[in-house]
Amino acid sequence: MDNRDGLSRRTLLHLSAATAGGVILAGCTAGNQPGGSGNSKASPTSSAPPTVKGSKTTALPIPSAFKEAPELAKLVAAGKLPPVKDRLPTKPYVVPHNWIKPGKYGGAISTVTSASDSTTHAEFMYGHSLLRWLNDGKDIASGLVESWDSNADATEWTLHFRDGLKWSDGQPWSTEDIMFWWEDMVLNEEHGEVPPDEARSGKGTLMTMTAPDKLTIVMKFDAPAPLTADRLAMWVKRGNGPVWMEPKHYMKQFHPKYNKKVPKDWATDKGEFDDKRAWIRNPDCPTMTGWKCKSFSEGRRVVFERNPYYWCVSPDGAQLPYIDTINFNVVQNAEVQKLQAVEGKLNFLYAGFTSIFLSDISALKQAEAKTKLKVLLWDAGDGSGSLVFFNQDYHDAKMRGLIRNPKFRQALSYAYNRKDVQKSVYYNTGELTTGTMSPKGIEFHVNDEGKQVYKSWRDSYVKYDPELAKKILDEIGVVDKDGDGKREMPDGSKLVVRLDYQADASSEHVKKNTLLKRDWDAIGVDTRMNPVAPEGFGDQWRFGKLMTHTTWETGDGPNCLVYPQWMVPIESSRWAPLQGEFYNVRGTPKEKAEKNVDPYKRTPPRMEPVPDGPVERLWKLYDQSKIEPDEMKRHQLVWEMIKIHITDGPYLLGVCANTPYIVLVHEDMKNVPAKENLAMGGFAAPWIHPTPAVYDPETWFWDNPEQHQQ
């Protein structure tokens, strides 16, 4: 995966400069946005723009005139809505993708999703994001923030917001909406909003945040925070990611600080506050996204309609979005989803939110003539496919000791016939891998050393060699002592490996588990499938009750540090949950509390890592990386962490990396990018790189909108 060769990308902070910020956007999707200084590898005084695939970066000027949807023009003429120029900020965001062309207003997107709670619907909308990722995460663009500055050591960041932003109800947006979230929710112990990663310094302490005026936010940290801009771009804010703002003018009526009639239980599930702030299901809650909620029917259907105050425009000055409405039909049954697709009952589908998979491509292709739905394939960008990882903190001490023995995991990796899974589950797509972070990660393409580090990790234990697997197990005493054909623990007791998975897991994971069980049974390891009730899976995992996790994939990026949880145990949902939880309490009173209590009975369950063991060494390297302002040195620290994964791993047992995600697009819908339009072919797997929001669905349009009204 050397598709970044020769390509420019942003450098987050120039140590030689007093400031870093603004935007330099590589040409595959973009041109410069006005108002910010450059983040390129070129020197600050260089006039040579970065390039992507031979396309030069060009500045996109603010259009001299603006257009609007006919329905909005009628409201303006009737005096019910201000003119479009008064609804937009002084300098609106000009969507820079080079595949877009001027569109037509009207029509509806009709799609399907598995999500009953509608949170995935926000993944279509990037409108709350302070900064934006472009070029599949290679570049950071302005968003609500027009430009940004950092001091030389990245301990102070200043955000300059666009003048004239408005909520969907027409009320002015200001930094008061951020400070309401920060002071009245995050810092308010009664509400307990969780501070996001970008709110903490490299030492883990909370920043101080102030708003000198209605368009400026200043964040001060007690240690360098060099990844702040990345973290402001990741996730969909007010969606699946951190909130970062609430419409104060609307929400203060539900907060006791501003309304004495609000009951004492305002911050609990019994109160109104959290229900009212849910813009994806509450039509009354203002939003900054291209579409706003029109109606919500729990578990059935959500309809979003155009936001007349959306702050983004196309290069020709058309206020976005082009399409009037998005209809999300909630269908949890996989077969019904497929039936609707092949019968043409929808006009767009992003498979990442459904149970549509590669095995369905043949049927979808056969139905194209009838449905007019073209099959596009975007790169997932994941590093594993369906993943297996052992619980390094499993509650049974004897089994935990075996799991923590890297030889045991190495043997099981060699016994894994990944080619069979690649063929039967992934239809020979992707590249075979032991299991890594995303192969699109910046660290793996910065130079030849980075490329070699990735290949070494990818190939470390990927070879299918069951005889070698048997030999390694024999060497560590995992042998068949009673002659029943099954290997025992070194002390002679029974060995059973469980493949734990949520009972509602997709066929992708179940089929992979079935083949994996076959392979491990074949070397004498008694392997059993273990479906677990989904609602209890997370708690059982973090309490060390489950042995393996088998239904996720590693998809985070576009660099390994912006969301490093797969690489470093720093929370309780991945491969070392109790040690990860201990990392979270370091520096707090809980670090030294309950010393004499069984780690599994502590509140929360947590345990210290083995002194100078792999987890402690990973922590030390990660802690260094968090406060290292030099980007190249951060890359080198990541490489050192990966070497621990190679010598003491594998911790992640993947199948094949970077398999495709299916996108179904009606032939009449325009401006939806194909893989070849995208800087790296797509980066669809990570939630933190929100897809399809990063490709601005607000720019999509119907060639014949009158034929697509439902």
Q: Domains in the chain: how many in total? A: 2
The one-letter amino acid code at 269 reads D
pLDDT of residue 271: 78
- C-alpha 582/C-alpha 602 separation (Å) is 11
Tell me how far CA of residue 383 lies from CA of 359, 434, 435, 555, in angstroms: 20, 9, 6, 6
CA torsion angle for 439, 444, 446, 452 (degrees, to 10)? -130
10-residue mean pLDDT profile of the chain (710 residues): values are 27 26 36 32 26 36 96 98 98 96 98 79 94 94 95 95 98 98 93 87 90 98 94 92 96 95 81 91 97 93 97 98 96 92 95 91 96 97 97 98 98 98 97 97 96 98 98 98 97 97 93 98 98 96 98 90 95 97 88 95 96 97 93 97 98 97 97 97 92 97 94
Same domain, 302 and 432: no
Q: Which of 656, 671, 691 is the last residue of a domain?
A: 656
Same domain, 496 and 641: yes
Structural domain of 314: 291-381+659-707
pLDDT of residue 590: 87
Same domain, 406 and 372: no
Instruction: Quick: pLDDT tens for 503-528.
Output: 989 899 999 999 999 999 999 999 99
Cβ-contact 22, 465 below 8 angstroms: no
Which residues have a Cβ under 8 Å from the Cβ of 689 and sit 6 or more positions away?
Answer: 133, 136, 137, 234, 381, 557, 558, 683
Cβ-contact 669, 702 below 8 angstroms: yes
- C-alpha 666/C-alpha 368 separation (Å) is 9
Residue 275 falls inside a structural domain? no
Q: Which pairs count as long-range contacts for 258-262, CB under 8 Å and 24+ apart, including other chains?
A: none
DSSP 195: P
Same domain, 305 and 435: no
The CATH number covering residue 338 comes to 3.40.190.10
Residue 413 falls inside a structural domain? yes
- For tokens 């005084």, what's the residue? 45
pLDDT of residue 20: 32
Same domain, 479 and 602: yes
User: What is the C-alpha R_g of the chain?
Assistant: 26
Residue 260 falls inside a structural domain? no
Which residues have a Cβ under 8 Å from the Cβ of 575 and sit 6 or more positions away?
Answer: 389, 390, 391, 392, 549, 566, 569, 651, 652
Tell me the three state secondary structure of residue 313. Answer: strand
CA angle 589, 562, 142 (to 5 degrees): 120
Q: Which of 656, 673, 695 is the last residue of a domain?
A: 656
DSSP string, 6-48: T-----S--TTSS---S----TTT--BPTT----SSS-TT--P
pLDDT of residue 268: 75
Same domain, 620 and 557: yes
- C-alpha 131/C-alpha 396 separation (Å) is 45
Structure tokens at 175: 């930094």
- C-alpha 489/C-alpha 340 separation (Å) is 50
Instruction: Quick: pLDDT tens for 135-158.
Output: 999 999 999 999 999 999 999 999
Residue 220: Cβ-neighbour burial (10 angstroms; 0-12, 13-18, 19+): middle
- C-alpha 233/C-alpha 238 separation (Å) is 13
- C-alpha 123/C-alpha 281 separation (Å) is 14
The CATH number covering residue 487 comes to 3.10.105.10
Which residues have a Cβ under 8 Å from the Cβ of 564 and sit 6 or more positions away?
Answer: 556, 570, 622
- C-alpha 210/C-alpha 219 separation (Å) is 7
DSSP strand E in 544-592: where? Answer: 548-549
- C-alpha 256/C-alpha 164 separation (Å) is 29
Residue 505 falls inside a structural domain? yes
Give the β-pairing of 156-161 and 216-220: antiparallel
Same domain, 597 and 585: yes
CA angle 355, 357, 359 (to 5 degrees): 130
Tell me how far CA of residue 267 lies from CA of 138, 190, 263, 264, 622, in angstroms: 39, 7, 9, 8, 35
Cβ-contact 293, 278 below 8 angstroms: no
Q: How far apart are the first and last CA of the chain?
A: 41
Residue 139 falls inside a structural domain? no
- C-alpha 541/C-alpha 569 separation (Å) is 14
User: Closest Cα to residue 254, out of 268, 244, 242?
Assistant: 268
Residue 309 falls inside a structural domain? yes
Cis peptide before 705 (omega within 30 of 0): no
Give the β-pairing of 312-313 and 93-94: parallel
Residue 231 falls inside a structural domain? no
DSSP 502: E
Phi, psi of 74 (to 5 degrees): -65, -40
Same domain, 365 and 396: no
Cβ-contact 606, 585 below 8 angstroms: yes
Q: What is the pTM of this model?
A: 0.89
- C-alpha 444/C-alpha 431 separation (Å) is 15
Q: Which of 626, 641, 656 is the last residue of a domain?
A: 656
Same domain, 347 and 393: no
Give the β-pairing of 325-330 and 108-113: parallel
User: Closest Cα to residue 7, out of 32, 26, 31, 24?
Assistant: 26
H/E stretch holding 664: strand 660-666
Q: Which pairs count as long-range contacts for 703-708, CB under 8 Å and 24+ apart, including other chains?
A: 703/104, 703/668, 703/669, 703/670, 704/668, 705/104, 705/105, 705/106, 705/107, 705/323, 705/324, 706/106, 706/107, 707/107, 707/668, 708/107, 708/108, 708/110, 708/347, 708/666, 708/668, 708/669
Same domain, 498 and 621: yes
Same domain, 521 and 455: yes
Same domain, 626 and 686: no
pLDDT of residue 270: 67
Tell me how far CA of residue 676 lies from CA of 29, 135, 377, 566, 686, in angstroms: 11, 12, 10, 29, 19
Residue 65 falls inside a structural domain? no
Other Cβ atoms within 10 Å of 278 Cβ, number = 15
